[in-house]
Structure 1
């Protein structure tokens, strides 16, 4: 979506920007224009503000494609919506969620005759009702809503920042709010903060002209913040509970397969996965019952394999699930591997640069374990092999998509997600042979394990924090990680994944699941500081459980409970190292170095 306003004329996106928007929503692309005439603007002479709303649609809800922007002719209100409202007011939403959200917002903006006589009291009542609606939406979203009744522009991301939304402004104050950065050279954009709903009162905009006659706009942005408490001022009720900061008075008991928190974890994660994979329409894309609707961004690691296992229980057995595994030809690694092969094997065939990739090795192992545990499912392992030439050909495109992020680490992570979400690779035609064929996934929904490391202490720095400052240090580190997900990861990742007309869904970042995790004592999520369990004779699983790593131990125990022994033991590995996108061009570059 690309809503914005301008002081002189309607402004349509540059060709490249329009291409990116169409890529994100290949099912529909539409423009709606609004002109606001004074009176109402803060000027002495009649003036006009030009509002341009553009939306593209990736149809993943309901039985038909619903064109956006949505427009209400009675009030002139407009909605550009990018997201999924899984629940509103606690009720699961079937069918098209965008239309329902729009109707709720329109109703909130209407005048109420039983509220005081003043315009101000009516407006305050409308804002209170609107914030109440947004507070009760569960699911990832970014939106722009123009309230035509009160001439107010609302824009926001959900409290976790799971969808991209950027804000840019030129030297004359002309504003663009967009899912991607404008492709114009020098365009300056920043991520919209996940701190609340941002509001611009268009009736209070100031217009001015310089000596050359160029018009400029000045305006104020009010933020209605997310809040945990109640207050008389307008507030959004944060759907994610604050972190449980309790520290144990003694060593907490060891986590085991019989721990109640592991059973609760399974129930909560199952619910989150089920919501995200149910009732996905194909709407002409793929063959019903044979082609995959759901794919998994699959490294073979703990988090993604666990999601694949739970998706198996939620989906009909006849639907295949695509496991998308990406590996890169890193020139430095390729040179070292070639030298090693020549030394050891002489003229024998070299080991594949892709099959020797760490994530390819664990991916193959994870695929084999899923086939063993769930043999009645078609698990399609999609091996995405990216030659260095392809990386260089797409490098500039990725750099533009991830803006305003601009570090080497951003690029290496984004490249892995960019090529994985493209979904073009090879699959084996027969489990008993090495024959392969080219394949592009039909899945438009891609499950991602993002959020598991942050919530369950999966990073190396979590162990360091615990070693230095105990449970309080660990809690502080987790709290910091969860709080900055939207700013550091999610907007950037959404821009590169959605460029292929696919949608990433994050079961570990469901609001209700996150709230359960943040309220659960930290020692029931990971194994740091827990007491050692007494050995149980002849209990092989019990022995395995006791020896699992402390990082994300609750998730490891759940994998073990679901029959995935190898998966439960997998070590954490960053995507840029597992897929070998790190240091593709220079072995001396640092992750924090700007591109």
Structure 2
């Protein structure tokens, strides 16, 4: 996980990082930080001003080294050659369909972009490339994996920035009060920002400069009255068909909206779709957990992977499959968070709830321990480490301003509830029990794992929310398909940028096997009655108690020995960990924070 900062200004001096933002970006990328400034003469019509003057392009990057043998300093600069610059935060699992699991992807991506923007890179003929924007778009579209980037093409005088088609990495942009363009992994102010917004995951964005070398030698116009013109930003969209203008072909096809003719066949543990699901999910998982770098954090050297673990279906399924992929000697950490909710504690003291530990009575702690026991039973040769992360109310309050800062521009009660749970879970600090030690007692522990597996995406793809059942009740298969399509289309906007900003604060990287492009492409193309059990005949008696939501995933869990987990009901993270409604009961998730 890396931190990115970029600014474009026509002011007298370059616009650099302030100390607070630099600190937060360094938390995202603690291994290496480097800072560079590119200066280019260009037309000031970008700033609603006639005439020319100096533009300052400033880059800063911090690096969390996850792949390859060496740490690659960022931003990457093609010094002495083209002068182009790349700030990259991503994992290119494949490029043009070819896996690159054992190499550092940043340099590969940069070289591909340089080839797209020069006639004959790496020769000395660095002249402009006709249609370079389309070539850059094609280079970006060949990348499979989560990413956010800012790329300055110094040969063709263009700036590009964007996120992957699912929006799995954070990138924000805006024009500040002084009229300067900023692009960053995080909001740059401690108070709610009025100008930063998520970079949409609907394409990449381009700013074109006019080649004006002499302009860099002229005096800078009086600062203070120049504002970046946002109309000068061009979107190069993801598309499902070839367009006559700049575009990228989306790796995610359109949703299969076919409805069954008559009653669809029953879903059972022997259905071919269940075995196909297992095969494809394993493929996605292998890319994300094999060949992970040894974490430099002090701690046990045999822990590289941890799971954000509520004990629910999605995360436990990933843990179970990870057991089949990872070496037998590697411990897998299960990070389970529970909060002291003062309203729940007050209710218990009044006798409204049975007295128990504020943490052990949390729904996610109960399901987490039950799933931990089931994993031990099914996979007894693996050392599973259950990390109980107990967060007192006073600790929640102490960190709340930091969490609110990280999740911006999201600013609702629900955002805060979810962000709190992810923030403390990804910190990975609590008390641990090892499954391989019969005499194991809880002891203080902080996971050294830098890769955190998350089950996010399963609910959206396989109809795991209550509203999916409601949509089917109202409008049958058509309503269900439309609801799933809506969920998939807004993943980047609703969840992923916010979650990335919160989790990455601890120098860890969340990976989402359910959101692999190849996996998502397969799921959206299979018919809806092969994803869930709505409108499908009842299963045989051996499959009783299997809910319609995410039925295919539940049947896979059954096949893998997770009988109890397969029957676990969906529970939102903010209610399972009890981060919701800590102070007031009558509050809506959509209410804005004050």
TM-score (norm 1): 0.92
Deviation at 1:352, TM superposition (A): 1.1
Deviates more, 1:434-443 or 1:291-300: 434-443
Which residue of 401, 416, 420 maps to 2:421? 416
Q: Which residue of 2 aligns with 1:308?
A: 319
Per the alignment, residue 17 of structure 2 pairs with 13
Render the CA deviation track for 1:159-189: whole Å, top value 9, x for unaligned.
0000000002123431110000002546420
Which position in structure 2 is the counterpart of 1:436? Answer: 442
Matched position secondary structure for 1:265: helix
Q: Secondary structure at the match of 1:203?
A: coil
CA deviation after TM superposition for structure 1 residue 432, in Å: 4.2
Equivalent position of 1:62 in the other structure = 68
Distance 2:440 2:376 in 1: 17
- Give the superposition deviation at 1:418: 0.3
Please report how far the alpha carbon of residue 491 of structure 1 lies from its aligned counterpart in structure 2 after TM superposition.
0.2
Counterparts of 1:396-407 in structure 2, within 5 Å, are 396-407=401-412
Quote the Cα distance in structure 2 between the aligned partners of 1:204 and 1:476: 47
2:562 corresponds to 1:564: yes
Alignment of 1:526 onto 2:532: yes
How is 1:93-172 mapped onto 2 (pairs within 5 angstroms)? 93=100, 94-111=102-119, 122-124=129-131, 126-172=132-178
1:548 positional shift: 0.8
Given the alignment of the two structures, is residue 391 of structure 1 paired with residue 396 of structure 2, yes or no? Answer: yes
The SS at the match of 1:340 is coil
**Structure 2 Cα separation of the partners of residues 494 and 429 of structure 1:** 29
Which digits, 9 at most, give the CA deviation of each residue in 1:503-561, with x for residues without a partner? 0000000000000100010100100001235x5xxxxxxx2324411000000000000
Contact 2:7–2:16 at 8 Å: present in 1 too?
no
Counterpart of 1:217 in 2: which secondary structure? coil
Corresponding residue to 2:284 among 262, 272, 276: 272
- Secondary structure of the corresponding residue to residue 369 of structure 1: helix
Q: Distance in 1 between matches of 2:356 and 2:191?
A: 43
382-391 or 44-53: bigger deviation: 44-53
| Runs of 4 or more above 4 Å deviation | 38-46, 204-214, 429-434
Output the TM-score relative to the length of structure 2: 0.92
Is the contact between residue 382 and residue 427 of structure 1 (CA under 8 Å) also seen in structure 2?
Answer: yes
Q: Confirm or deny: 8 A CA contact 1:123 1:150 kept in the other structure.
A: no
- 1:357-415 CA-partner distances (Å, limit 9, x unpaired): 00000000011111111111110000000000000001111111111101000000000
Maintained 8 Å contact 1:466/1:474:
yes
Residue 358 of structure 2 corresponds to: 353
**Which region of structure 1 is more displaced relative to structure 2, 76-85 or 162-171?**
162-171
Matched, 1:332 2:343: yes
What is the aligned counterpart of 1:511 among 514, 517, 526? 517
1:461-507 deviations in whole A, cap 9, x for unaligned?
00000000000000000000011110010000000000000000000
Within 5 Å, which residues of 2 pair with 1:170-189? 170-183=176-189, 185=191, 187=193, 188-189=195-196
CA distance in 2, matches of 1:499, 1:358: 26
User: Residues 353 and 222 of structure 1: is their aligned pair in 2 closer, same or farther, counting only changes over 3 Å?
Assistant: same
Within 5 Å, give how 1:465-480 maps onto structure 2.
465-480=471-486
Q: Name structure 1 gaps, 5 residues minimum.
A: 114-118, 345-349, 536-542
Task: Report 1:243-262 matches (<5 A).
Answer: 243-262=255-274
Does residue 86 (structure 1) correspond to residue 93 (structure 2)? The answer is: yes
Per-residue Cα deviation, 1:393-450 (whole angstroms, up to 9, x for no partner): 0111111111110100000000000000011100136854573211001010000000
**Residues 189 and 404 of structure 1 are in contact (CA less than 8 Å); yes or no, is this contact kept in structure 2?**
yes
Count residues with an aligned counterpart. Answer: 573
1:574 maps to 572
